[in-house]
Amino acid sequence: MKKVLVIGSGGREHAIVDALSRSPQVGKIYCAPGNAGIAAQAECVPLKDTDVEGLKAFALENGIDLAVVGPEVALAAGVVDAFKAAGLRIFGPSKAAATIEASKDFAKQLMAKYDIPTASFETFEDYDAALEYVKKGSFPVVLKYDGLAAGKGVVIPETFEEAEETLRDMLLDDKFGKGKVVVEEFLTGPEFSFMCFVDGLDVYPMTLSQDHKRAYEGDKGPNTGGMGAYSPVPIITDEDLEFSLEKVMKPTAAAMVAEGCPFTGVLYGGLMKTPQGPKVIEFNCRFGDPETEVVLPRLASDIYDIFSAVADHTPMPEIEWKKEVTMGFVMASKGYPGSYDKGYEIVMPEEIAACMSPRNDVSGHPEEHSDVRIYHMGTSCKDGKYYTAGGRVLMVVGFGADLQEAHDKALAAVESIECENLFYRRDIGWRVL
Write out the residues near ligand GLY by the rule CB under 6 A: 151, 211, 225-226, 284, 288-289, 291
At residue 355, the 3 state secondary structure works out as helix
DSSP bridge partners of 418: 347
Return the one option of ligand AMP, ligand GLY, none that residue 49 interacts with (CB less than 5 to 8 A, by type).
none
Per CB under 6 A, residues contacting ligand AMP are 119, 142, 144, 151, 154, 184-187, 191, 213, 223, 270, 281-282
CB < 8 Å & 24+ apart, contacts of 211-214: 211/288, 211/290, 211/291, 212/425, 212/428, 213/151
Chain centroid offset of residue 260 CA: 25
Return the one option of ligand GLY, ligand AMP, none that residue 184 interacts with (CB less than 5 to 8 A, by type).
ligand AMP
Return the one option of ligand GLY, ligand AMP, none that residue 179 interacts with (CB less than 5 to 8 A, by type).
none
Question: Minimal CB distance to ligand AMP: which residue?
Answer: 282
Q: DSSP 3-state helix, strand, coil percentages of the chain (rounded to 5)?
A: 30, 30, 40
Comparison of 64 and 68: residue with beta carbon closer to ligand GLY: 68
Comparison of 12 and 213: residue with beta carbon closer to ligand AMP: 213
Return the one option of ligand AMP, ligand GLY, none that residue 225 interacts with (CB less than 5 to 8 A, by type).
ligand GLY
Comparison of 23 and 278: residue with beta carbon closer to ligand GLY: 278
Question: Least distance from C-beta 345 to ligand GLY, angstroms?
Answer: 27
What are the φ/ψ torsions at residue 204 (nearest 5 degrees)?
A: -120, 110
Q: Which of 12, 57, 56, 61 is nearest to 35 (CA)?
A: 12
Comparison of 68 and 163: residue with beta carbon closer to ligand GLY: 68
Question: Least distance from C-beta 250 to ligand GLY, angstroms?
Answer: 21
Q: Are 337 and 391 in contact (CB under 8 A)?
A: yes
Comparison of 146 and 211: residue with beta carbon closer to ligand GLY: 211
Question: Least distance from C-beta 156 to ligand GLY, angstroms?
Answer: 16
Helices 11-21 and 303-312, axial angle in degrees (round to 10): 100
Eight-class DSSP state of 351: H
Comparison of 13 and 211: residue with beta carbon closer to ligand GLY: 211
Question: Least distance from C-beta 110 to ligand AMP, angstroms?
Answer: 14
Rounded Cα distance between 305 and 314, Å, is 10
Helices 104-113 and 250-258, axial angle in degrees (round to 10): 100
Question: Least distance from C-beta 420 to ligand AMP, angstroms?
Answer: 30
